[in-house]
Every structure is written in C-alpha cells, then in structure tokens.
Amino acid sequence: MSIPSRTLGGRLAVGAVGFGAMGYAGAYDQSAAGTESPVDLIGRALDLGVTLLDTADLYGDSEEVLGRALTGRRESVVLATKFGIVAPPMGGNPPVMNGSPAYMRERIERSLTLLKTDYVDLYYLHRVDPDLPIEETVGAMAELVSQGKVRYLGLSEAAPDTIRRAHAVHPITAVETEWSLWARDIETEIFPLAQELGISVVPYSPLGRGALTGTITSRNDLSENDWRRTMPQYAEGTLDKNLTTLDVVRDIAEAHEATPGQVSLAWLLAKAPDVVPIPGTRRIAYLEQNAQAVNVVLTADDIARLDAVTVTGEREYMADNWTSGVSPQLNQ
C-alpha cells in the first residue's frame, strides 16, 4: 500500500497523511519515549507513502533520532522542523518565544546538524514572537530559502492578520495548527483565510492528543508525568464528558469497518484536498492504521454528524501568547 499524495501550498508534494514526531520522543511523557526502533518506524512510514515527517527543535531528541533514522533515505522524505519556542508554558511559567533573525540562524544550524542534512524542506516559525513584527522574522527566514538551507516556509499557531502579513513578505506554504474533532476554532477564520491565500493547513494533534483513538477511557490511563493532565479538556470530570463524543465516532467507524482514529482523520481529509494531518505514534501498527484512513470515504451524513460534535474546555493551556499568534505591527 502507498497512500495518495497531496500538494502543500500548490508546490510541495507529500503523502496525504504525515507523521508528527513530537510524541515519539516522549514529549507527552518523558518516561514513555519510542517503543519501537525509529529506523523501523520511519522505514515503514516511507514504505506506506507517509513522506511528511514533522519535528521541531523543542521536541527532546526528536531531530537527532530522525537524523539517524533517515540515513540513506533523506531524498525520500519531506522534512519539516520548527524554531521559535525557547520555553513552553510548563509548571505555571509563561511561554518564552524568540523569532529574532539571530536566534533563527542559530537554531537552523543546530537542526541541520542533528537531522544530518544540508536543507530542510519546510521550516516553520513554531510560535509567533509577541515582541517582534512578523515581517522581520519571515524576512530572515526567506534568506534561508535564498541560501538553499530551507525550501519552503510555514507558520504554526499564527493569527489571521499575522498569516496575511507574513505571506506578503514571502509565500507561506503551510500553516500548522491544532485541528481535530476536539479543536475546531481554526474553522472560523484561519482555515478560510488559508484557502483564500493558497496556503495549506497541516493539522497537528488530529486525534485529540490520543483521545479520538478510543484508547483513552479515563484520566487513569494517563501516567502522573503525562502533561495532558494539565490540559482543560483532560481535566477531572471534563475528560469523562468529552469522551462521550466517541459514541458518534465509533458508530460511524463501525459502519465503515474502520477505527475511531481513522474516521477522525478521514473527517479532516474531507475538509479540503490540501489538508494533511500529522498524527504521531510510537507503534508501527498505529502508523499503518493512520495511513489507511485515506481509504475511509465518509458520506455527507457522516460528516454532518461529526461536524455536530462538541467538547468542553479550551484545547490548550491558552497562556498569554501561546496560541494567539498575534504579532505587533511593523514600526509600532
């Protein structure tokens, strides 16, 4: 089986389902890093046609692991990484972002070294620097394109005005943001804007950070070290209520002889022909299941029922500037 391809931003061909490498490095729980050989996992991904591999300088040893796993196979993948987060909002501390040209130049060199490559296919600003106009950051990122160190540019969790301003400086190929049945705010402004500008959307956490797979039945399934416990949607009492949304997903999955996760991914794939979700996993069996979501063709009634799903609680920490993506105006 080799999954069909899609085109990001009208210029970058990738498999219709990508691979998010955040969870593989134990980003949710550092005591639960990859359980299968990364060489085997990535090798199987490429065999399936899962060519978009997404990582970041923030994801523990993810870049280094990918660099080792891709030895001899670099030209077979579309490699995406990110910079811009110095520290996430953990332990009650506010997030720290840095989109300065100097910091970017430092981080791209580090990423290239760890990934064992001369170039990155898609380079994202991981979070918008609230103190620096986006024009300055993207202008510096565009220099990396001219230097051949980066092929295409992307933004992650950027506000609509920020996306439009960035795109005016240099074409933005993709916007990566959380989007799933449990995270729908993108649909109000960002998705329509992306469609207007010819920018593709790459949904991260398309399986609700694991909840939409059906493998999480309560907070007891999460270790004490798992930071999903700090998220509003996973709060005591709230998670149990939100998990009832799986009743609809399971019902549709049964009709299609599919898994809840496959239905959740198929729902995203049906949104537009250039939407490419990047589910993560540490197991080859789940990787194969995710790829097979391309074979699930939902009916209009299925999509309407899934569109009606609602959950309680914000999708993220929602700390100041963490997901707002607002950039100060140039010359402000």
Question: Among all residues, which ones are annotated catalytic?
Answer: 59
d(CA 84, CA 130): 11
Query: Hey, CA dihedral for 96, 278, 30, 115, is it positive or negative?
Result: negative
How far does CA 167 lie from the centroid of its chain? 20
For the chain, the residue count is 332
Burial of 178 (C-beta count, 10 Å sphere; 0-12/13-18/19+): buried
Six-digit token string for 137: 């950051």
SS3 state at 78: strand
Six-digit token string for 229: 């416990």
Q: What is the dihedral of CA 321, 327, 328, 331, to 10 degrees?
A: 160
3-state helix, strand, coil in the chain (%, to 5): 45, 15, 40
Residue linked to tokens 């537009």: 272
d(CA 17, CA 186): 19
d(CA 226, CA 86): 21
Pairing of strands 120-125, 150-156: parallel
Instruction: Determine contact, residues 45/83, Cβ cutoff 8 Å.
Output: no
Phi and psi (nearest 5°) for 217? Answer: -110, -15
